[in-house]
Structure 1
Amino acid sequence: MVTLAVAAVLLVAGLVVEWTIHSEPVALALFCGAILIGGVYPLRSAIRAVRHKRLTITVLLVVAAIGAIALGVIEEAAMLVVIFSLGEAMEAYATDKARGSISALMEIAPPTANRLNDDGATETVAVEELHPGDVVLVRPGERLPTDGAVIHGASWVDASPVTGESVPVEVTAGTEVFGGSLNGNGVLRIRVTKEYYDTVLARVIEQVEEAQANRSGAERFADKFGAVYTPAMFALAVAVALVLPLLGFEWREAIYRALVVLVVSCSCALIISVPVSVVTAIARGARDGILIKGGIYLERLADIKAVAFDKTGTLTRGRPDLAQVTPLDGISEDEALTLAAAVESESEHPIATAIVAGARDRALTIPAVQDARALPGAGMEATLDGRTLHIGRPTDEDRTDGTAGPALAHAEAEGCTAVVLRDDTRPLAVVAVADQLRPDAESTLAELRDLGVERVLMLTGDNATVARSTAQALGLDDYRAELLPEDKSAAIRELREKHGVIAMVGDGVNDAPAMANADLAIAMGAASTDVALETADVALLADELDRLPAAIRLSRRARKNIKINIALSLTVVAILIVAALAGWMSLTTGLLLNEGSAALIILNGLRMLRPGRGETRRAQVDFGTRQGSDLNSGRPCAPGSTTGGHSVAAGSSYDQREHGR
């Protein structure tokens, strides 16, 4: 690019000198400088192509430039070098895959672990040195170094980067945990169950590497087209140079016509017909918060037949919110929520945070409690006005209770996570939390179907009840639940065979293998992990789901623009070649007409910078109002129902039968 820029400056300077002060020697020196500097890389590329027995458009360029120099038309030779090199550079830039490394994957799990020795002392070792049977110590706030099972301690663990679970889970002795998960506020001792290379996270890394390697062989458009077109044009030029003298033409005239054929066939318009549309379409997308990492992915967007979504953080917000309060035994809803929030106010658990936030949203005064303490695997307990209150995992007694039992069954059937508030004698309320659907999820899926996407489905690590509720709320065609990262990859491969070109939309490490195996990987930008963004071919940087239909519209408009450009450039080339064979134009005329057609192609491509229909539309979402008792006033937990104007998804992966609270 530096040599091309210098050559372009010399070419412009030569034209200015020639047109203003009419100094031919100075202009000629500047043109020669442009050829010598700007022709270095095209010449190297042409030599490499010839050594590999390939004829590329660059070879045509070099031959035409050398022929023009031999015939003494130095100015035209300089223009050839600069303009055609610029077109080649634009194409290379536009179709670069721009695939990032997967180093972020390696950084999720810590490089070292605190291994416990038989004498109880700890030693710091590399995670690669851990073997099944070893015991590691994980302190609060640390990431788990490897897969294993908890043998001592209790805490909550955020496994969302690995498993996709939307809510951190309580872990106690016997709970299986995964390397890369974030430990909460407890100290854990974990027995290693797998070698490092066989952990879930290690398999994620391996699958992403394999999928990226398998997809790295995509060829650029110019190479595919040039494999046939370039040798044909070169052969035509040679035939003109050899055959015309046999028909009575002078050798100089024959060679001159052959050079004209090379110049008009080595069309700048033909070279940039694709990249000019691609570059401008990518720029248009960037303005609208859509990052497309290359022309091949822009093209694939237009061909999508099926879209698979991750749930947590993609179709949903990825955090629990208060969904419903069901008061029992005669107390009011506000009183029940106040008591629940008071007990939970001393906890850092995400469910507790959701309950406290729900109380504050209703402007309830949360009283201070005494003797608050966490009960590992069971919830929180505190004293308020001399009364002992407990909130947490439903007990068998709660489930058989005549009032609490039906409320629990209803909440859990809808996919919510339910906890029970009780005192020493009886249950007082059932409180349910759930992950919320994105406000634009339903409208986005409707738009995708309007655009001709045949299948819309969901792949999630959440449990089957949650997945079913979310799928029903959104009207998805299919869903698969309780999937580990490798399961999602297998599902993508199976779905591709059934439905054709498939895109995977996700935001976390657990989505990376599936994204890498899909025909098109799409990341939700603002919420995505680094690895999801690096794996992605397209990133919705605005973190708005309705950008996906806009991206598909943009890609289809770009494809139409590309087809027009190609048709126009081929038509112009065909006309110019006929005129060149007939001797109706000079080398300069052919070059000017050639570049004139290139200007038309560029102008048509630049039309992509203007927004098309529906590409800048933002989903119009009515959030409703949050007024007093309307919020969380006994509404159902079902996805798509409203609580205080919020669309609620059954979004908790929190299986209280396994994990306690």
Structure 2
Amino acid sequence: MSETKNEYRLQGLSCTSCAAKFEKNIRDIQTVEDVQLNFGASKIAIVGEASIEQLEAAGAFDGIKVYPANEKRKEEKIPFLHKRENKNSMVSLAFLIFGYASSLTIGEDSPATILIFALSILIGGFHLFKVGLKNLTKLQFDMKTLMTVAIIGAAIIGEWGEGAVVVFLFAVSEALESYSMEKARQSIRSLMDIAPDTAIIKRGKNEFEVDVEDIQVGDVMVIKPGQKVAMDGEVLNGQSSINQAAITGESIPVHKQAGDEVFAGSLNEEGFLEARVTKRTEDTTIAKIIHLVEEAQSERAPSQQFVDQFAKYYTPAIMMIALFVAILPPFFIGADWSEWIYRGLAVLVVGCPCALVISTPVAIVTAIGNAAKNGVLIKGGIHLEETGRLNVIAFDKTGTLTEGKPDVTNVVSLSDLSEKDILAVASAIEKFSQHPLASAILRKAAKENVEEYIADDFQSITGQGAKAILNETTYFIGSPTLFDEMKAIPEKIQYEIIALQQQGKTVMLIGTEEEIKGYVAVADQVRESSLSIIQKLQKLGIEKTVMLTGDNQSTGKAIGKQLGLSEVKADLMPQDKLEAIKSLREQYGKVAMVGDGINDAPALASATIGIAMGGAGTDTALETADIALMADDLEKLPYTIALSRKTLNVIKQNVTFAFGLKLLALLLIIPGWLTLWMAIFADMGATLIVVLNSLRLLKTKYH
């Protein structure tokens, strides 16, 4: 088995049935072992050997152009009316109008009128007949086969005018489908154009403009004010505000300085930066986003799989119904042959599954593209649909509902020392400590600009705190248990400590062996937006919001109460989070887990939908989660759920409408109330409405 896998982009891939035929033609190439055609992204992956000439020959029936996926090429913008098929349709329309004028003046049966209508049919339908007749010889029944049979049948029974109208309306319908698919694909193309093709690279004292493909990891990239960042990198020198809305969806620019990460495709606003390149062009975050969005659009959603399966049996069934309508009444009740053949042809036209086949993919492609523009990466149609059906959302606490870094909330003196002195003593000892709470005290001391004390002989007391000598006095800082062992804590202070712990705060006492001088309380602050997000989710109809945390019960309960969560599960190890998700799924069905994608990977994987925060910075989040919120905040979660629900509704509306209209039209044909041109008009109208309804998803805004 050959493992050679080549990817190509396609131009001119116009409709779902053409895509299926193109894929089949490629499979027929002997050196090709496997083909995966991604209609949404207009891309194809081929395992085996096939030249571009062979691939273009396989797509010659639809004028498909093929070029390597990694080749950057400007899409040819051909104005709508300048396209060859649309020009032909306009000429066909002109002959159609002449034909009707002729039928009014010299009669519809006159040779001149028939000739004008025949020219209209041939010019507008040449491409259609070429494909339709070829399909007919191979007994392949798709839309073009149905249309070809219907138009030839109309001409045979003398309905030349109707045949010409059907040709023109079918051409309009095809043009609209092609236009709408282009519009939906545009969301990916706009992502591909975000990152520049070249960057300024500094080598020694010289600066060169280099193509991104030739830049190596470790090169130093110069980013001037107003320039777009070309590669992912780490800032070495300078500071600036970077607008990374294209990657994370954050509208507010982010301040960057030495040590911070910058992403390809983001915009440097006012400062001058030098950054070390950390990833090759194909591994940058924007390249991964594009790849994942394209993969997502090729993965068929459950409703799309159903429609595709249904269409496979539906088209031959329509041909059988048309045949029965055409021959049974004349055979058994002696009805007029031409009248019933006409009605049979109308069944063929109205049975065209255009609207039905396009009803799902155009909605999925549009929604995934819109989400990507807003900094939400949905990794497949199935995940998009499942998100719309969620009943429960479970959250990790640290870094998801909270900021993820502790802050000092209270500084209290219990002696003759001032609060600033308490903070100064605490920071002098904690300067030597590696504990996360130490950094909170040092940040607070720097902010308050307290006097710097010098501490000597620092010693860490494992699991309890630390001690050091300041001005010849030994000071201790640590948990209440540390001071309890040295000297009983007064009852009044014990009550204060318990009250703070019930609010989810960690209390550190400061004092000597003889006296408690004061204390500092530290807490991981709840994100400002968390409360409003939980409320929005509850308004959207999410039954239950659960917090899963490794923190203690009192901290968990305090935050849960503050945010109005339905349930809090505390003291959890990663495997406990996994068990919690499993039991929630058993009780409630569809459950999402929201975490940072690193320590929450097992829980993210076992949830119906795993949602990772801050996908822009972590490869793990992009890989383990079904949905990645590219910015490190939860603001996009209600938007994602609302978009998913809207997509589900749009798909249901599309399928119901397309199928309902077919059924109604078929019922109107039997008594002869529906003419051929009305049948194609109904089909075209259904396709247009389904497409426009799907494009409404582009208007779903993130608030």
Is TM more than 0.5 here? yes
The alpha-carbon deviation at position 459 of structure 1 amounts to: 1.8
The alpha-carbon deviation at position 529 of structure 1 amounts to: 3.8
| C-alpha contact 2:169 2:681 (8 A) present in aligned 1 | no
Q: Report the counterpart of residue 536 of structure 1 in structure 2.
A: 625
SS of equivalent residue, structure 1 residue 510: coil
CA distance in 2, matches of 1:499, 1:548: 20
Q: Report the counterpart of residue 548 of structure 2 in structure 1.
A: 459
Q: 1:326 to 1:31 in 2, by over 3 A?
A: same
| C-alpha contact 2:346 2:675 (8 A) present in aligned 1 | yes
The alpha-carbon deviation at position 426 of structure 1 amounts to: 4.3
The alpha-carbon deviation at position 424 of structure 1 amounts to: 6.5
Q: Report the counterpart of residue 149 of structure 2 in structure 1.
A: 67
The alpha-carbon deviation at position 393 of structure 1 amounts to: 5.3
| C-alpha contact 2:343 2:672 (8 A) present in aligned 1 | yes
| C-alpha contact 1:11 1:34 (8 A) present in aligned 2 | no
Specify which of 489, 500, 504 is matched with residue 402 of structure 1.
489
The alpha-carbon deviation at position 331 of structure 1 amounts to: 1.6
1:538 counterpart letter in structure 2: I
Determine what percentage of the aligned residue pairs are the same residue. 35
Specify which of 85, 88, 91 is matched with residue 14 of structure 1.
88
Deviation digits for residues 326-381 of structure 1, max 9, x if unmatched? 333332212101221233235454222111111233x3234152547563736555
CA distance in 2, matches of 1:60, 1:240: 20
CA distance in 2, matches of 1:540, 1:256: 56
Aligned residues: 483
Q: Report the counterpart of residue 332 of structure 1 in structure 2.
A: 418
Q: Report the counterpart of residue 131 of structure 1 in structure 2.
A: none
Deviation digits for residues 251-274 of structure 1, max 9, x if unmatched? 787666444323322232233334
Q: Report the counterpart of residue 460 of structure 2 in structure 1.
A: 375
Q: Report the counterpart of residue 357 of structure 2 in structure 1.
A: 271
Establish whether residue 591 from structure 1 lines up as the match of residue 641 from structure 2. no
| C-alpha contact 1:237 1:261 (8 A) present in aligned 2 | yes
5+ unaligned residues in a row in structure 1: which ranges? 51-57, 97-211, 618-661
Q: Report the counterpart of residue 505 of structure 1 in structure 2.
A: 594
Q: Report the counterpart of residue 606 of structure 1 in structure 2.
A: 695
Deviation digits for residues 78-101 of structure 1, max 9, x if unmatched? 84995698599899999x9xxxxx
| C-alpha contact 1:495 1:502 (8 A) present in aligned 2 | yes
Specify which of 514, 519, 522 is matched with residue 608 of structure 2.
519
CA distance in 1, matches of 2:434, 2:300: 45
Mapping of residues 402-551 of structure 1, within 5 Å: 402-403=489-490, 408-423=497-512, 426-525=515-614, 529-551=618-640
| C-alpha contact 1:60 1:262 (8 A) present in aligned 2 | no
1:375 counterpart letter in structure 2: S
CA distance in 2, matches of 1:597, 1:453: 34
| C-alpha contact 2:397 2:549 (8 A) present in aligned 1 | yes
| C-alpha contact 1:318 1:435 (8 A) present in aligned 2 | yes
SS of equivalent residue, structure 1 residue 428: strand
Q: Report the counterpart of residue 342 of structure 1 in structure 2.
A: 428
SS of equivalent residue, structure 1 residue 4: coil
Establish whether residue 239 from structure 1 lines up as the match of residue 324 from structure 2. yes
CA distance in 2, matches of 1:458, 1:266: 51
Q: Which stretch of structure 1 is more off in the superposition, 260-269 or 290-299?
A: 290-299
| C-alpha contact 2:366 2:698 (8 A) present in aligned 1 | yes
CA distance in 2, matches of 1:563, 1:441: 32
TM-score normalised per structure 1: 0.61
Q: 1:227 to 1:468 in 2, by over 3 A?
A: farther
Mapping of residues 50-129 of structure 1, within 5 Å: 59-61=141-143, 63-65=145-147, 67=149, 75=167, 79=171
Q: Report the counterpart of residue 11 of structure 2 in structure 1.
A: 2
Deviation digits for residues 206-231 of structure 1, max 9, x if unmatched? xxxxxx9xx99945241365477556
Q: 1:475 to 1:392 in 2, by over 3 A?
A: same
Q: 1:466 to 1:36 in 2, by over 3 A?
A: farther
Q: 1:91 to 1:21 in 2, by over 3 A?
A: closer
CA distance in 2, matches of 1:610, 1:39: 41
| C-alpha contact 1:369 1:382 (8 A) present in aligned 2 | no
2:11 counterpart letter in structure 1: V
1:312 counterpart letter in structure 2: T
5+ unaligned residues in a row in structure 2: which ranges? 1-9, 15-61, 65-82, 97-115, 156-162, 189-295
CA distance in 2, matches of 1:2, 1:34: 19
Q: 1:543 to 1:225 in 2, by over 3 A?
A: farther
Establish whether residue 261 from structure 1 lines up as the match of residue 270 from structure 2. no
Q: Report the counterpart of residue 355 of structure 1 in structure 2.
A: 441
| C-alpha contact 2:326 2:343 (8 A) present in aligned 1 | yes
SS of equivalent residue, structure 2 residue 534: helix
Mapping of residues 191-206 of structure 1, within 5 Å: none
2:623 counterpart letter in structure 1: E
SS of equivalent residue, structure 2 residue 359: helix
| C-alpha contact 2:124 2:168 (8 A) present in aligned 1 | no
Mapping of residues 287-326 of structure 1, within 5 Å: 287-326=373-412
CA distance in 1, matches of 2:607, 2:385: 15
1:536 counterpart letter in structure 2: A
Q: Which stretch of structure 1 is more off in the superposition, 63-72 or 443-452?
A: 63-72
Q: 1:292 to 1:281 in 2, by over 3 A?
A: same
The alpha-carbon deviation at position 241 of structure 1 amounts to: 4.2
The alpha-carbon deviation at position 320 of structure 1 amounts to: 1.4
Deviation digits for residues 48-101 of structure 1, max 9, x if unmatched? xx9xxxxxxx9442541553586587957984995698599899999x9xxxxx
Higher relative contact order (CA 8 A, sep 6+): 1
The alpha-carbon deviation at position 539 of structure 1 amounts to: 3.3
